[in-house]
């Protein structure tokens, strides 16, 4: 997980002197410290969603376009992610696509 964040931070031209500090910050924001050294293919679906979100937010991207960012997560993980997105709303433009199913009978 951390290796992916480092790679994408480097691709987004994150300064070398702040690279690992930013990776650790994103790991803490996503509450995935316990999985930081895990390989991405060994992560659960919800943890892969968190990794994808971490890749999106690393490098101080000004605009985030997220497609169902909490799909496949448990309730606590969803709350963590929504709280994170709410805390970032004044610093970044965030577009979230959420599918809502309505059943009309």
13-60 pLDDT tens trace? 999 999 999 999 999 999 999 999 999 999 988 899 999 999 999 988
3-state secondary structure of 40: helix
How many whole angstroms separate alpha carbon 69 and alpha carbon 67?
A: 6
Q: Looking at residues 5-14, what average pLDDT do you find? A: 94
Q: What is the CA radius of gyration of the chain?
A: 14
Evaluate if residue 102 carries a pLDDT over 70. Answer: no
Q: Looking at residues 67-73, what average pLDDT do you find? A: 87
Task: List the beta bridge partners of residue 93.
Answer: 63
Q: Return the residue matching tokens 């994408």.
A: 8
Q: Return the residue matching tokens 């985030």.
A: 64
């Amino acid at each position: 997980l951390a290796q992916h964040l480092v790679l994408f931070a480097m691709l987004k031209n994150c300064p070398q002197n702040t690279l690992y500090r930013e990776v650790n910050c994103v790991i803490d924001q996503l509450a995935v410290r316990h999985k930081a050294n895990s390989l991405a293919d060994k992560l659960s679906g919800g943890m892969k969603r968190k990794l994808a979100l971490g890749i999106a937010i690393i490098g101080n991207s000004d605009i985030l376009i997220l497609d169902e960012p909490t799909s496949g997560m448990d309730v606590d993980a969803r709350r963590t992610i929504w709280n994170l997105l709410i805390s970032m709303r004044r610093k970044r433009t965030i577009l979230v696509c959420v599918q809502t199913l309505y059943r009309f009978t």
